[in-house]
């Protein structure tokens, strides 16, 4: 008998209730404290890209009122990730990555909430009340509470936030700077000794997948060979794996996509002149999803589809059937043009026409 889903659920209950002590479980028959609101628990099952059967139990934060406190929490941008990787190459730093297991549960919530466990949680918990103490996934403030907790940890390890890039942290090591970039529970570190950094994190968090990253935020991370000054190889980012995982989902939604296209859009197609039928709500939602996927491919280095993605994005409010055909065309092109990479060449840029800049009145723009 296949018990993978049940095993994943029981593991989640063990971690949520006992390992992280997310709830203060009251005695059977006890009443919830005054001023606390009941929320449901929602169980989400998913197959991860590596085939793992994953279960996540989340709080029904959708039933709670908007909190009065600040809930804003930023994440690192792909532009900032490229800066960190460039600086790592430039300064001979080693890049490692890792995930914080059940990251949100390290924070402490300030929301006054409780749950009632049902029979699925076993006879020991069934019918009892649990006061939410940790920043449970699904609550409106949980992301902010986790960000605060991680920020406190990094400051205690002598890291300081970059003033130029959200969620990039820096450390002055005397001869060089080292860097950490954070996207929720995904952490990458560019350091002379990243293993030491992750060992220190592991004293506070349950870390997973620590080591040289092969995949980060949808991007494939690799080394490419070539002549790069004193180096014979360098770091490269690619959308290849993201495209490979994305195409089947698009074909499930739109039907099979041809791979015979040599351009990302039909050169004769004018989307602004399209008078085909308007899409319904379902097709419009699928169109938004497809455009979002194309935009992320561009972020990961798919510059060859940037123009196509930009012009098709303009019709998200009211797409037509012809626009969906154009989106399918773009994915058909990506099916056989997915190998493009961003290569981090850190050699100084030599500008041949330096005399072109002589005599220009830069003071008009930059003052003194």
User: Mean pLDDT over residues 218-244, rounded?
Assistant: 88
| pTM of the full structure | 0.82
User: Which pLDDT belongs to residue 362?
Assistant: 75
pLDDT tens readout for residues 139-156: 999 999 999 999 999 999
231/120: higher pLDDT: 120
Residue-by-residue DSSP string for 193-212? -HHHHHHHHHTTS-EEEEES
Distance CA 340, CA 352 (A): 27
Distance CA 192, CA 272 (A): 52
User: Which pLDDT belongs to residue 84?
Assistant: 96
Residue 101, Ramachandran bin (φ over 0: left; ψ between -120 and 50: alpha; else beta) = beta
Residues 6+ apart with CB under 8 A from 13: 57, 121, 122
Chain centre to alpha carbon of residue 37:
31
Q: Which residue has the tokens 């056989």?
A: 336
Name the β-bridge partners of 10: none
Q: Which residues of 80-117 are buried (b: 16+ CB within 10 A; e: fewer)?
A: bbbbbbbbbbebebebbbbbbbbbbbbbebebebbbbb
Where does residue 128 rank: exposed (0-12), middle (13-18), buried (19+ CB within 10 A)?
A: middle
Confidence of residue 111 (pLDDT cuts 50, 70, 90): very high
Per cent of the chain over pLDDT 90 is 71
pLDDT tens readout for residues 245-275: 888 888 888 888 877 789 999 999 999 999 9
Where does residue 207 rank: exposed (0-12), middle (13-18), buried (19+ CB within 10 A)?
A: middle
User: Which pLDDT belongs to residue 192?
Assistant: 96
User: Which pLDDT belongs to residue 236?
Assistant: 92
* Strand ranges for the chain from DSSP E: 23-25, 37-38, 41-47, 53-59, 94-100, 113-116, 129-132, 160-161, 168-172, 177-183, 186-191, 207-211, 215-216, 219-228, 231-238, 341-343
Decide if pLDDT at 110 tops 70: yes
User: Which pLDDT belongs to residue 108?
Assistant: 95
Confidence of residue 83 (pLDDT cuts 50, 70, 90): very high
Question: 233 near 224, Cβ under 8 Å?
Answer: yes
User: Which pLDDT belongs to residue 355?
Assistant: 67
User: Mean pLDDT over residues 54-64, rounded?
Assistant: 93
User: Which pLDDT belongs to residue 358?
Assistant: 67
pLDDT tens readout for residues 178-227: 999 999 999 999 999 999 999 999 999 999 999 999 888 888 999 999 88
Mean pLDDT of the chain: 91
Question: 255 near 324, Cβ under 8 Å?
Answer: no
User: Mean pLDDT over residues 10-31, rounded?
Assistant: 94
> Which of 339, 347, 350, 92 is closest to 236 using CA atoms?
339
Decide if pLDDT at 287 tops 90: yes
């Amino acid at each position: 008998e296949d018990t993978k889903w049940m095993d994943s659920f029981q593991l989640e209950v063990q971690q949520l209730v006992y390992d992280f002590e997310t709830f203060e479980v009251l005695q059977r028959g006890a009443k919830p404290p005054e001023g606390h609101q009941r929320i449901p628990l929602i169980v989400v099952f998913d197959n991860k890209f590596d085939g793992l059967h994953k279960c996540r139990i989340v709080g029904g934060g959708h039933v709670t009122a908007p909190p009065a406190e600040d809930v804003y929490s930023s994440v690192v941008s792909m532009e900032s990730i490229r800066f960190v990787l460039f600086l790592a190459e430039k300064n001979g730093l080693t890049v490692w990555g890792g995930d914080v297991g059940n990251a949100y549960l390290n924070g402490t919530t300030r929301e006054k909430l409780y749950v009632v466990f049902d029979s699925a949680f076993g006879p020991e918990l069934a019918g009892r009340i649990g006061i939410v103490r940790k920043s449970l996934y699904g609550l409106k403030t949980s992301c902010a509470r986790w960000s605060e907790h991680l920020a406190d940890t990094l400051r205690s390890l002598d890291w300081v936030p970059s003033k130029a890039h959200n969620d990039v942290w820096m450390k002055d090591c005397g001869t060089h700077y080292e860097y950490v970039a954070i996207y929720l529970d995904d952490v990458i570190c560019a350091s002379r000794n990243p293993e030491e950094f992750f060992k220190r994190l592991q004293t506070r968090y349950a870390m997973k997948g620590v080591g040289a990253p092969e995949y980060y935020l949808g991007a494939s991370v690799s080394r490419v060979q070539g002549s790069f000054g004193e180096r014979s190889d360098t770091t490269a980012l690619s959308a290849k794996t993201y495209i490979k995982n994305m195409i089947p989902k698009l074909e499930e939604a739109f039907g099979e996509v041809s791979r015979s296209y040599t351009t990302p859009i039909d050169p004769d197609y004018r989307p602004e002149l399209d008078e085909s039928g308007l899409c319904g709500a379902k097709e419009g939602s699928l169109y938004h999803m497809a455009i979002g996927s194309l935009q992320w491919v561009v972020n990961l280095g798919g510059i060859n589809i940037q123009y196509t993605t930009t012009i098709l994005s303009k019709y998200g409010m009211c797409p037509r059937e012809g626009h969906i055909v154009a989106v399918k065309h773009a994915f058909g092109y990506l099916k056989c043009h997915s190998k493009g990479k961003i290569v981090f060449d850190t050699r100084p840029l030599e500008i041949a026409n330096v005399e072109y800049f002589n005599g220009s009145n830069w003071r008009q723009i930059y003052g003194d």
